[in-house]
Amino acid sequence: MTSRTDRTSPLRFLKRPMLVGALSLMAPGLLSGSSCSANSSTETQLRPRYVVGQAQSAQVAEESFERPTLEEIPIREAEPEVQLSEEEWRERLTPAQYRVLREEGTERAGSGELLHVKEEGTFVCAGCGQAVFSSEHKYDSRTGWPSFYAPISEEAVGTKMDTSHGMRRVEVHCSRCGGHLGHIFPDGPAPTGLRYCINSVSMGFTPADEAPVETPPSDDMPAEDAPATR
């Protein structure tokens, strides 16, 4: 397992109180350069009611956080414990899931089923079932992809630098199976300033009131051998 120190944690920004109030007044478009994607050009339109509620609570915290740069996003690639052959992955996943999780594809903006999920619950990796994001950290980035300002835990995801398509981006993947989830951009809201731009098709969603009892994998029966559905 990769050791994860506090110094390299994406959540460390929570612990760095500094004043950058002026940043909140800048147009978000100036801060988001690359796709998966830059915020849309509809910034000046009225926000839906539910977003106003989120924005007001975020603004309180906005005064006490320092927006990170791309270079400050911690890079720590995971060493997946779930190792399957490409053939096994193709059997387990739908073609759309395979394209994103195993080939680092990106779904079309606005196409994801989980984009508008607002209820409480847990987002799990579609490849292995590990919890990767929580509704607690989800927000409406208006980019067309489910967006979070933090993962459910530091251990749940790994990161690596992605220079494909002529861009410099931080890729984010499931730490348990290595499945590609999306990218991280430094234009997110307080308190982290990070935007985890995640493909909906790479995840499943478990509503809070349907959350199954946690059963940690034992040596006798690895969880990845359990059937996905019954």
Annotated catalytic sites, by residue? 197
176 binds Zn ion (CB under 5 A): yes
* Choice between 100 and 177, CB closer to Zn ion: 177
Continuous H helices in the chain? 28-31, 49-62, 86-92, 95-101
Which amino acid type is present at position 113? E
177 binds Zn ion (CB under 5 A): yes
* Choice between 128 and 190, CB closer to Zn ion: 128
Evaluate whether 214 touches 122 at the Cβ level (below 8 Å). Answer: no
Kindly give, in sequence order, each residue whose CB lies less than 8 Å from that of residue 205, ignoring residues fewer than 6 positions away: 114, 117, 121, 122, 123, 124
127 binds Zn ion (CB under 5 A): yes
Stretch that binds Zn ion, among 33-41, 119-127, 154-162, 201-209 (CB under 5 A): 119-127
Evaluate whether 67 touches 23 at the Cβ level (below 8 Å). Answer: yes
182 binds Zn ion (CB under 5 A): no
CB of 14 to Zn ion, least distance (A): 25
* Choice between 36 and 128, CB closer to Zn ion: 128
Q: Is 5 helix (H, G, I), strand (E, B) or coil?
A: coil
* Choice between 33 and 80, CB closer to Zn ion: 80
125 binds Zn ion (CB under 5 A): yes
CA angle 181–157–86, rounded 5-degree value: 55
Chain residues that interact with Zn ion, rule: CB under 5 A:
125, 127-128, 130, 174, 176-177, 179
